[in-house]
Structure 1
Amino acid sequence: MQPAISVAKLSKTYETGFEALKDIDLEIRHGEIFALLGPNGAGKTTLINIICGIVKPGEGRVLADGHDIVSDYRAARSLIGLVPQELTTDAFETVWATVSFSRGLFGKPKNPAYIEKILKDLSLWEKKDSKIMTLSGGMKRRVMIAKALSHEPRILFLDEPSAGVDVELRRDMWEVVRRLRDSGVTIILTTHYIEEAEEMADRVGVINRGQLVLVEEKSVLMRKLGRKELTLQLQQPVDRVPESLSSFSLQLSEDGGELTYVYDTQGERTGITRLFKALEEEGIRFRDLVTTQSSLEEIFVNLVSRRQ
């Protein structure tokens, strides 16, 4: 099966000479949630705007479900819904009217039952007759999602979907996104909330200074680049780490009561087994242990800082 989105050798340089994208290659699968991460100015929005037909590409080719976004733009654009960062709705329109109008822009026939379903799914049904200007920021964000879904796209771009949304509404929105994915919609999101990507994404792409640094399954990324710490609370304090344990990355607490073992997740099982055996041979016993693992945010920060 061809990918939902295929990007090949895509570059973009603006008239000012700023090179926003450099030789991007990317394939996004049908029915996945793909999180695109990167610092401000990394090229996330430029990439999305090119795929969605808002910005002209420089060099390279982009296909949406096999349709070229330039030569076959009508077919490509009909497949795509976009929720931009900015809340750009007509303040004096009602929720029902603005979502229905968006559907009409794509030449779709009226379908009140479908509009009703979208509004109910997004918890907007009770607000259907309310004017946009009376809504909270979180509700306006939901209206933007409803507008993007109005023409029944199979590919949905969410550019900072949780911006300005409180924690409760953010989690509600995550549930909406999951339901869309489960219905077969491909979701591509950019976010500054790393927890959002960690919570929802199937795969993660990191972009920095216009270049795609990596694309990886989220679970694989955290396993390959993550770091774990095992803290052992000792039965009896020790003065120093024995020489026989020098091959391990061990840190002794100031009071000598805790040993912390830092290791990557790839060598997890063999490393811990060897450590426990070595501790037993030294007569060092522990009464409790605690493990912690790197978050996706820590991995992202390390990746970006390495390439500054």
Structure 2
Amino acid sequence: MKLLVTGGAGYIGSIVTALLLDAGHEVVVLDDLSTGHAEAVPSGARFVRGRVHDAIGEVLVPSEGFEGVLHFAAFIAAGESVQRPEKYWDNNAIGTLRLLEAMRAADVRRLVFSSTANVYGDPDEVPIPETAAVRPPNPYATSKLAADHALTGYATAHGLAAVSLRYFNVAGALRRPDGSMIGERHDPETHLIPIALQVAAGRREKLQLFGDDYETFDGTNIRDYIHVADLGAAHLLALSTMDGPGHRVYNLGNGTGFSNRQVVEVVREVTGHAIPVEMAPRRPGDPAQLVASSEKAKRELRWTPQHPELATMVADAWDFMQHA
């Protein structure tokens, strides 16, 4: 298939692009490099630099013959979204709407959408099923949920076949058949595992944990972690199971929660380095606990995580950081 990957120079987008190429697909990557890296785009993919809002109408045209789109282009920092909601509404919600209109004009009817478990807010039940009530706690999550609703509307009105994959916390790196690795390189970095690894590598003096007064067993947030290679595999399965109009939603996680303190301890064990920790106040919009039920994805997509151990995710991310 010929596929367009928006945000394909970012962490997850570049890894999914690599998996698509390895599976024999033709891939065009569209990314404005506001948070991605041109060198992260795997060789074999055609790279077009541009913002979805501005460039999509020139890239996603009938003459290109695209058969599907995988949409990763988004801003993802929940804390920042509270301070700058306009940035998230414009990029995540309006950008997705522009993409949907371009797809409709080019008669491209397959879309895999990078969504988020953050839409559930503080859930009523854990693990969280796809039927759980959605209570997005910040503009980031709200903008993603708005895009999900748009997909449902386009599926009903315009025959779109869409799958939203609601990620829980993603970690690790992908080792390709040639031995090269693709991993996480956000700037600034906002995710716990890579920040802890930066402390282990001597690039930061200490690690801040935001909040130790949550209603969890040790007072810190609890999150479900998924290896990025397992996450990427789910995208290919979602693409391969599109057989008609409709919008399907799947949670992707391992069903196991780790507290922030537990994650730090695993990083210490894997790296063999001390990780000085400083407690800081809670961040606005941070739910206490997010743990996935991925039974629907396992049942309908035939998806099974191959790397469920947190230590494996940390070790792969550490290996990438040391060789990047």
- Give me the TM-score of the superposition, normalised by structure 2: 0.26
Larger C-alpha radius of gyration, 1 or 2?
1
Question: Which structure shows the bigger proportion of residues in strand conformation?
Answer: 1
- Give me the TM-score of the superposition, normalised by structure 1: 0.27
